[in-house]
Chain A
């Protein structure tokens, strides 16, 4: 646990100490929100939309989002596509191996709640919130890049509301 987590408790004993905490909050959140690197993790057709979003026409890089091939370097896992029961433990492991603080976006109907496989499939996980904690849900089958943008901007808004005390 970072020592800085204890800083607010210490600093706010002094008058005006809250200013230090809020400025630090702002700096850290701004830094985190503008460099959300996502893990290359595509399991179905949503991954095609994810690739299109990362490529030059839609250009994810505008939001400071670059894909990383290793979970050690990524802050965000965009679960793009159907997660089968066989893939579920792997998704969990990948999430575990990411550096904290880490975020999850459930992209597409399958990851939100089973999607088209909700009724007639024994093999598909009915929503990845059974496996990992999800921050943002993006419905669609598959969602267009614009929807993915919306989801990522929502995540950035969420990150900007974080407080140092709440860090894990």
Chain B
């Protein structure tokens, strides 16, 4: 039970910290709302419609596939820089790694994710 008490304390602290921050900000900030200030920020153009727009959930899948290339790039760059000292072992390792990622891409492709319907 005592372990759960710690969770409760942290929960309370977490909520309390946010509330205190908001309260202090309310005390010290200048507040001067008017129409032009409350308007949507559209790079100083006149906003058209509301800012509560629904995004197609297909973007979510695209973002996931992007992660494949992202991870690949993050590992490839240091590997390429240090390739001279690493030798054959690193080359084989990297080929295996890329194969795994390419398999993921292939899987997504076969599932028809890359097609925009």
Contact check, B44 vs A2: say whether CB atoms are below 8 A apart.
no
B24-43 to A contact mask, C-beta < 8 Å, 1/0: 00111111101011010100
Which chain A residues lie closer than 8 Å to B37 at the CB level? 96-97
Contact check, A2 vs B41: say whether CB atoms are below 8 A apart.
no
A101 CB to closest chain B CB (Å) equals 6
Contact check, B30 vs A71: say whether CB atoms are below 8 A apart.
no
Contact check, A72 vs B27: say whether CB atoms are below 8 A apart.
no
Contact check, A2 vs B27: say whether CB atoms are below 8 A apart.
yes
Contact check, A4 vs B28: say whether CB atoms are below 8 A apart.
yes
Given contacts A2-B27, A3-B27, whether A93 and B44 have CB atoms under 8 Å apart is: yes
Which chain B residues lie closer than 8 Å to A3 at the CB level? 26-27
| Interface residue total, chain A, C-beta cutoff 8 A | 20
Which chain A residues lie closer than 8 Å to B26 at the CB level? 2-3
Q: Which chain A residues in 46-100 approach chain B with CB under 8 Å? A: 70-72, 90-94, 96-97, 100
Complex Cα–Cα for A142 and B28 (A): 38
Contact check, B28 vs A97: say whether CB atoms are below 8 A apart.
no
Complex Cα–Cα for A72 and B31 (A): 13
Contact check, B30 vs A97: say whether CB atoms are below 8 A apart.
no
Instruction: Apart from A1-B31, A3-B26, list 4 A-B contacts with CB within 8 A.
Output: A2-B26, A97-B39, A97-B44, A167-B30
